[in-house]
Amino acid sequence: MTNEQGVLLSALQANYYFGQLRVVQERPLLVETERGRKKIRIWQNEALLKLHLKWRERLINDDFFIDRMYVTRSGLPSVRMGSLSVTCHDAPSEPVQLDGNEALLATALTRLVQYSRDVPAEEVPNSASVRVRSLYEQAKQIGFQDHDTWKMVSSCFSSACARAEEADRLREPYQNRRSAFILPEDFSLQSCTAIFDTLFLELGQSRPVDGCRLLARFFLAESMDHRKQSMNNLFQALKDQKLFDRETADLLQAEWLEPGEWMRLLESGINREQMQSDPFSIEEFKQIWDQKIKLIHLFKSVFAQSGDAGGGAARGAEGQQSD
Partner 1 sequence: MSQSSNDRLQFSINESVWLRNDAPAEEILSMALEPDITVEENWNDVTIKGFLRLTGEYKPAEVSNTTGDADHNSAPFRTIDEIMDTGNGTDTLEHHFPIDITIPADRVPNLEDLFVVIDSFDYELSEHRHIQLQADIAITGLTNTNPGDRTEKPKAQAPIEQPVAPQPEAPKETVPTKKPEAKAPTKKPEAKAPAKKEEKPAKAEKKAAETKPETKKSAADKTPSSKAEEKPAQKDAAKKPLNPATKSKRTLGDDLTGEFEEMPTDQLNDEADADFQYEAFRKPEDEPQESGAPLVAFKGQSSGRSEAAAPSAQPTSPAPTPAAQNEEKTSETESAQDESTGKEKKADATSLFLTKMLAGDEAEQKTRVKICIVQSGDSLEKISERYHVPVTSLLRKNDLTSGDIEAGELLYIPKTAKAAQDDK
Residues that bind partner 1 (CB under 8 A): 146-149, 151-152, 154-156, 158-159, 161-163, 165-166, 272, 279, 281-283, 286-287, 289-290, 293-294, 296-297, 300-301, 304
Residue 207 has a CB neighbour count (10 Å cut-off) of: 15
Residues 6 or more apart whose Cβ sits within 8 Å of residue 146: 269, 272, 273
Return the number of the residue (56 or 163) whose C-beta is nearest partner 1. Answer: 163
Beta carbon of residue 153, minimum distance to partner 1 (angstroms, whole number)? 12
- The three-point CA angle 75-80-84 to 5° equals 140
Smallest gap from Cβ 294 to partner 1, in A, equals: 6
CB nearer to partner 1: pick between 202 and 255 = 255
| In the complex, minimum distance from the CB of residue 155 to partner 1, in angstroms, rounded to a whole number | 5
Residue 243: name the closest of 316, 183, 312 by CA: 312
Query: Shortest Cβ distance from residue 298 to partner 1 (Å)?
Result: 8
Report the residue number, 218 or 285, with the smaller CB distance to partner 1. 285
Of 10 and 301, the one with the shorter C-beta distance to partner 1 is: 301
Determine the number of helices (DSSP H) and then strands (DSSP E) in the chain.
11, 12
Q: In 10 A of CB 83, how many CB atoms?
A: 8
- Respond yes or no on whether the N-terminal peptide bond of residue 28 is cis (omega within 30° of 0): yes
From the CB of 146, what's the least distance to partner 1, in Å? 6
Instruction: Look at phi and psi of residue 316 and say left if phi exceeds 0, alpha if psi is from -120 to 50, else beta.
Output: left
Q: How far is the CB of 148 from partner 1 (least distance, A)?
A: 4
- In whole angstroms, the minimum distance from the beta carbon of 236 to partner 1 comes to 15
Task: Return the amino acid letter for 262.
Answer: W
Name which of 177 and 292 has its Cβ closer to partner 1. 292
Q: Is 92 helix (H, G, I), strand (E, B) or coil?
A: coil
Residue with smaller CB distance to partner 1, 154 or 188: 154
Minimum distance between the CB of residue 200 and partner 1, rounded to whole angstroms? 33
| Angle between helix 260-273 and 282-303 (nearest 10) | 170
User: Alpha-carbon distance 163 to 157, whole Å?
Assistant: 10
Q: How many CA atoms lie within 13 A of 224 on its CB side?
A: 16
- Say how many C-beta atoms besides its own lie within 10 A of residue 111's C-beta: 21
Judged by beta carbon, residue 8 or residue 156, the one nearer partner 1 is 156
Q: 51 vs 304, which CB is nearer to partner 1? A: 304
3-class state of residue 252 by DSSP: helix
